[in-house]
Amino acid sequence: MKQWYGLLFENYAQKYDKECYVQGTTGECDFIEQELNFGKNIRIIDIGCGTGRHAIELSKRGYRVTAIDLSESQLARAKEKAKQCNLKIDFQQLDARKLPFIGEFDAAIMLCEGGFPLMETDEMNFQILKNVTRALKNNGKFIAK
């Protein structure tokens, strides 16, 4: 049986991109670039990528992005949008509490309820933080909002 946060995003992908709180993507990516010192030779993981708005914008700017989300429908929409822009982004359906990555990324972003605030317990949130830390290289940056 799916948890409420899995059900929430099942049929929300088309509507999600029209929500007022997702309209600041360009400015948010400007901030991310500043924090990363505009280094294009880095790998970024977008945790809880939703419909891919940050992954797509960062890919357009020349960054290598792996984008993960638990929702199949959100990822389907993200892949569709990336294809329309002729972008190659590594989209993966993964649970942020069980990431398989170890020391692979220079930066991790988790923006706009990218999984963390959707969990039901502090222990689940702690699992996400442990996985993000494990996925980052030494001195990697984690940007969350």
Residue 17 in any domain: the answer is no
List the Cα angle 15/62/30 in 5-degree steps: 65
pLDDT tens across 89-134, in order? 999 999 998 999 999 999 999 987 555 555 567 788 888 889 999 9
Structural domain of 73: 4-8+40-144
The reported pLDDT for the residue numbered 40 is 87
Q: Would you state the pLDDT for residue 114?
A: 54
Asked if residue 76 is part of any domain, the answer here is: yes
Residue 99 sits at the vertex; the CA angle it makes with 139 and 119, to the nearest 5 degrees, is 100
* Residue 75, domain member (yes or no): yes
In a domain, 23, yes or no: no
Q: Is the whole-model pTM more than 0.85?
A: no
pLDDT in tens, 29-85: 999 999 998 788 999 999 999 899 999 999 999 999 999 998 898 899 999 999 999
Report in angstroms the alpha-carbon separations of 112 from 28, 42, 80, 104, 139. Answer: 10, 22, 20, 23, 24
DSSP 116: G
pLDDT band at 4 (very low <50, low <70, confident <90, very high): very low
68 in any annotated domain: yes
- Is 15 a member of any domain? no
Total number of domains constituting the chain = 1
Question: In this model, does residue 135 exceed pLDDT 70?
Answer: yes
pLDDT at 145: 80
CATH at 112: 3.40.50.150
Q: For position 86, what pLDDT does the model report?
A: 97
